């Protein structure tokens, strides 16, 4: 049910763009106003969210240590999984963000007795998550050729590498295939694995369908529905140079694509997609395990009521003296009533 709601929502978005840009011809609205608003939403929303996180302090140093601590000189420290220096933390975060190291931890090849079945389910999650994120990134960077003139060598190069297989005309991008496969995996996993279905919310299906919609509309535009690439570039360059123009020959499919992307941009800062920013702020990962070496300061540390030694001795002095335990105040000087 949750999945179907989300699917319908994405259909509705497509329909809005179809009617608005295609039927009613609101090209300026869908080609200029919506993208501008979306980018504004995204940038402001993203910054606000990160600032809001940043405003809450990190009172304690609580890294999850995943290896041997820095200890005696003859004990080999695991400098990445249990970093004690900033460099170590940077490396740990690098592996975390770039290679999804914690997810990979799931996947250690294990030997076990009993029936020899492949223990692979969690390895797939790591693999497809990685494939998804990298193809998304590549596609994003590839699109930069629409927003730059002349197109920098880097973007051209990535474009070339992605189309390396030289299949069909226009050449097939590998990432187009990969992202579809990865998205289908992530989606099916949510629908078919009972425990994952149980924990999934509509907010988990919606972005998957939305990105799927974006990918499909993009692929349609490139391979199936003929679109005027020169006109699109004119439009996109108009957007980045703040001289928006709407060339006549841009097809409706383009507006659908742009509308879905705009929705994603607006949805991004108010959703779980913010994990992109949040991963950098996670106190269990981005802190060095050096809390016994270097004092960590808690900005709201406040004095608390404690049971002092004096109060303790007052209560037990007689018994302590009797047991031969040293006391601060000798027995006869004891005030008749204890303080606490």
Q: Smallest gap, in angstroms, from Cβ of residue 62 to other proteins?
A: 5
Measuring CA to CA, how many Å separate 276 from each of 72, 96, 170, 262, 336? 37, 12, 32, 18, 65
Smallest distance, other proteins to C-beta of residue 122, A: 7
Considering the complex, state which of residue 28 and residue 60 has its C-beta at the smaller distance from other proteins: 60
3-state SS, the chain, equals CHHHHHHHHHHHHHHHHHHHHHHCCCHHHHHHHHHHHHHHHHHHHHHHHHHHHHHCCCCCCCCCCCCCCCCCCCCCCCCCCCCCCHHHHHHHHHHHHHHCHHHHHCCCCCCCCCCCCCCCHHHHHHHHHHHHHHHHHHHHHHHHHHCCCCCCHHHHHHHHHHCCCCCCCCCCCHHHHHHHHHHHHHHHHHHHCHHHHHHCCHHHHHHHHHHHHHHHHHHHHHHHCCCCHHHHHHHHHHHHCCCCCCCCCCCHHHHHHHHHHHHHHHHHHHCHHHHHHHHHHCCCCCCCCCCCCCCCCCCCCCCCCCCCHHHHHHHHHHHHHHCCCCCCCCHHHCCCCCCC
Q: Which is nearer to other proteins, 122 or 171 (CB)?
A: 122
Query: Minimum CB separation from other proteins for residue 302, in Å?
Result: 9
Query: Closest distance between other proteins and the C-beta of residue 273, in Å?
Result: 8
Q: Nearer to other proteins by C-beta: 252 or 289?
A: 289
Closest approach, Cβ 77 to other proteins, in A, equals 8
- Between 72 and 230, name the residue whose CB sits nearer to other proteins: 72
Q: How far is the CB of 151 from other proteins (least distance, A)?
A: 34
Query: Closest distance between other proteins and the C-beta of residue 242, in Å?
Result: 30
Nearer to other proteins, 226 or 292 (CB): 292
Q: 51 or 153, CB closer to other proteins? A: 51
247's tokens: 């060339």
Compare residues 67 and 244 and give the one whose CB is closer to other proteins.
Answer: 67
CB of 309 to other proteins, least distance (A): 5
- Taking the least distance from each CB to other proteins, the nearer of 52 and 243 is 52
């Amino acid at each position: 049910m949750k999945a179907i709601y989300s699917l319908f929502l994405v259909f509705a978005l497509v329909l809005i763009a179809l009617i608005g840009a295609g039927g009613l011809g609101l090209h300026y609205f869908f080609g200029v106003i919506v993208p501008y608003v979306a980018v504004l939403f995204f940038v402001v929303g993203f910054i606000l969210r990160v600032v809001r996180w940043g405003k809450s302090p990190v009172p304690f140093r609580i890294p999850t240590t995943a290896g041997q601590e820095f200890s005696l000189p003859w004990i080999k420290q695991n400098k990445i999984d249990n970093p004690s220096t900033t460099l170590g933390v940077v490396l740990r975060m690098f592996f975390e963000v770039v290679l999804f190291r914690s997810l990979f931890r799931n996947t250690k090849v294990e030997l076990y007795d009993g029936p020899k079945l492949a223990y692979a389910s969690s390895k797939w999650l790591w693999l497809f998550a990685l494939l998804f994120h990298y193809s998304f990134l590549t596609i994003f960077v590839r699109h930069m050729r629409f927003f730059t003139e002349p197109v920098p060598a880097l973007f051209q190069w990535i474009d070339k590498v992605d189309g390396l297989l030289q299949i069909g005309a226009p050449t097939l991008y590998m990432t187009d295939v990969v992202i579809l496969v990865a998205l289908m995996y992530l989606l099916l996993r949510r629908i078919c694995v009972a425990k994952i279905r149980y924990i999934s919310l509509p907010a988990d299906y919606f972005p998957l369908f939305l990105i799927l919609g974006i990918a499909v509309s993009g692929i349609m535009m490139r391979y199936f529905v003929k679109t005027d690439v020169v006109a699109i570039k004119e439009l996109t360059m108009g957007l980045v140079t703040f001289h928006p123009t709407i060339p006549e020959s841009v097809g409706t499919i383009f507006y659908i694509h742009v509308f879905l992307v705009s929705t994603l941009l607006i949805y991004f800062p108010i959703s779980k997609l913010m994990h992109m920013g949040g991963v950098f702020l996670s106190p269990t990962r981005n802190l060095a395990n050096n809390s016994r070496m270097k004092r960590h300061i808690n900005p709201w540390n406040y004095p608390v009521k404690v049971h002092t030694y004096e109060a303790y001795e007052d209560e037990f002095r007689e018994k302590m003296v009797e047991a031969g335990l040293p006391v601060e105040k000798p027995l006869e000087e004891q005030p008749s009533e204890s303080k606490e």
